[in-house]
A and B are shown apart, each in its own frame.
Chain A
């Protein structure tokens, strides 16, 4: 059984700042990491592979040449192989153009896949769209926001527990299928020295624009339906009243007074 895990290199967003003059992101000094939700997706695949013989995990990413780093990281964490989809033609893609390219790259590099696992969203764009769009393009059933996954007997079905607003659902689909993952019970692992050494022997394949066989006008920025017209920093609210340097009793009284004043208590 082959599980393709789509991974993405993202900036560590907690430290991203906007240049107040140009309105663009300051990327210098910001570390690149494997998107945490991709890591969870990968870990769900690794868990399945540990429980069941004969599961092969292929990590695939689209990005500039340095995106190789997240493939190395994925292989340290348990992927057997990496596929880097890279080329200038792919730059500036919106979610549709990204999904179209990744779908074609998966068909090219792993035509006999059984499952595609992706993170529920990337922490830079937060769109959560590429997974379902790949599923649609490849005509696969999908389950999103998965937190637990099991395989049916003879590996023809996948069963996924998915988070919804007020609880969860358990959904079953036939393979091939696509699942997007949230965290669930996954605890982030630190690869062992053995993992690190083994990962260096694992292969990375490169897939380019010629391989995906999509006309150039449908790739990257040219192939995108949406266009960003403006970026700007979010508005900051003006600060309110401050209580400090008082004991807990006084602070509590002032909070209750505030609640009364705003009619939250009678």
Chain B
């Protein structure tokens, strides 16, 4: 329950204007909370005077069972004035469908955005039983506070059992805030998800740079929440016969609730080039490429194969390629159809970022390089000599 410390309250009314449910009001000088309160915590968060606090008790089995359904946060991406779901959202729906079926519960796709949100009907074809739209003019661009407030309000009202977020920069930015506000367990960057015999979510993730896997449960709090690594789970095959059910979730959000201001936002999309996350083919360079100029040939091969250039942390630190092209634990996790690793020894931090690629070709001088353990085709040799010939041979084909 919400506990009001009337002694600390200065009647500034910030909590009243920030309550998404209109549950707070002043009766004379005295702050009152009505039955509309869902304990979402928005008021506690804005109170500067420690006048509000939420008391939560540990939940019993029956209480935990009251939480039902699998929710998936659908991250939108702006393209030519429209904001459509990102690829990772469809991957999450694929896995979410499987979990919901095991639980015999509903799968809900949660879309947060403004009027430009589009293409969300597709979410139904990819497995969602219901699509909840949270639209507000202040939600068109990502902000930590805006998105946290909306998801907290939604969770408090709908009480899902599982909430999944893509482990993208934005997802990993606000999922922990939601967890801390609602006092929920959260498992980061999962690469495996399952339901156990007690209907609990079992979350599997790499730790210690990918050297070990850990399976984690959340026994005392609901919903069970997790961020999920992109490019690990496949999306389902779309089913056009599935019913599209759309529900609008009314959003109350004040400008004052958003405490950060976006001064500038710049997306690096060189000549409309695909991102390494979405590319079907990646030709990736490591320290063994010796110098930046040697990457030109890799880029040419990538283009001929309909893909893009990527690289390791080592060559990003050398300044040969920008961070946006970095594959690995501290860069982007990729899962293309074809991954060609040139001069990459295969540090575990790199391997975990690319091992879900469907076909892997590795070229390295060292026959013991760890990269060969993941490769479908291992070539022991100097990439700087071999790749220019590959490049020439590909020309002949066309």
Contact = CB atoms under 8 A, between A and B. Distances in A.
A228 interface: yes
A237 B355 contact: yes
Nearest to A224: B185
B292 interface: no
B375 interface: yes
A240 B377 contact: yes
Given A144-B169, A229-B215, A265-B394, A169 B262 contact: yes
A167 B266 contact: yes
A258 interface: yes
B34 interface: no
Contact of B217 (A14, A127, A226): A226
B213 interface: yes
A171 B176 CA distance: 19
Given A230-B214, A234-B210, A251 B259 contact: no
Contacts of A249: 389
A230 B203 CA distance: 10
Interface residues of A, number: 83
A159 interface: yes
Contacts of B30: none
A264 B305 contact: yes
Contacts of A244: 367, 378-381
B275 interface: yes
A145 B326 CA distance: 15
Given A229-B202, A264-B338, A246 B381 contact: yes
A173 to B, nearest CB: 5
A225 B169 contact: no
A181 to B, nearest CB: 12
A166 B349 CA distance: 21
A231 interface: yes
Contact of A25 (B145, B186, B212, B376): B212
Interface string A128-150: 11111101110101111100000
A230 B188 contact: no
Name the residue among A13, A96, A252 with the largest chain B CB count within 10 angstroms.
A252
A39 B343 CA distance: 29
B390 interface: yes
Given A133-B177, A173-B259, A248 B218 contact: no
Given A136-B180, A242-B378, A252 B389 contact: yes
B372 A167 contact: no
Nearest to B200: A229
Nearest to A12: B209
Contacts of A265: 304-305, 394, 397
A252 B297 CA distance: 13
B15 interface: no
Contacts, number: 262
B269 interface: yes
Interface in B67-92: none
A13 B148 CA distance: 33
Interface stretch (A64-72, A78-86, A118-126): A118-126
Contacts of B324: 165-167
A121 B188 CA distance: 11
Contacts of A143: 144, 260
B386 A252 contact: yes
A233 B188 CA distance: 18
A128 to B, nearest CB: 5
**Chain B contact surface mostly:** mixed
A239 B269 contact: no
Given A129-B179, A264-B305, A239 B394 contact: no
Contacts of A168: 265-266
Given A139-B45, A240-B377, A255-B361, A165 B260 contact: no
Contacts of A192: none
B375 to A, nearest CB: 6
A234 B211 contact: yes
Given A225-B221, A246-B381, A95 B267 contact: no
Interface size class of B (residues with CB under 8 A): 35 or more
Interface in A235-266: 236-237, 239-246, 248-249, 251-256, 258-259, 262, 264-266
B393 A234 contact: no
A233 B213 contact: yes
B177 A171 contact: no
Contact of B268 (A135, A167, A172): A167
A227 interface: yes
A264 B266 contact: no
Given A141-B260, A239-B373, A258-B377, A135 B177 contact: yes
B323 interface: yes
A233 B45 CA distance: 41
Name the residue among B186, B217, B332, B348 with the largest chain A CB count within 10 angstroms.
B186
B169 A145 contact: yes
A241 B390 contact: no
B189 interface: yes
A226 B185 contact: yes
Interface of B: 44-46, 48, 144-145, 148, 168-170, 172-177, 179-181, 183-189, 202, 206-221, 259-269, 275, 277, 281, 304-305, 317, 323-324, 329-330, 332, 337-338, 347-349, 352, 355, 359-361, 363, 367, 372-382, 385-387, 389-390, 393-394, 397
Interface of A: 11, 13-14, 16-18, 25, 94-96, 99, 121, 123-133, 135-137, 139, 141-145, 159, 162-174, 182-183, 224-234, 236-237, 239-246, 248-249, 251-256, 258-259, 262, 264-266
26 contacts: A16-B208, A16-B212, A17-B211, A25-B208, A125-B188, A126-B188, A129-B176, A132-B173, A133-B180, A164-B169, A165-B324, A168-B266, A169-B262, A170-B265, A229-B215, A231-B213, A233-B213, A234-B212, A237-B373, A239-B378, A243-B380, A246-B381, A248-B382, A264-B359, A265-B397, A266-B397
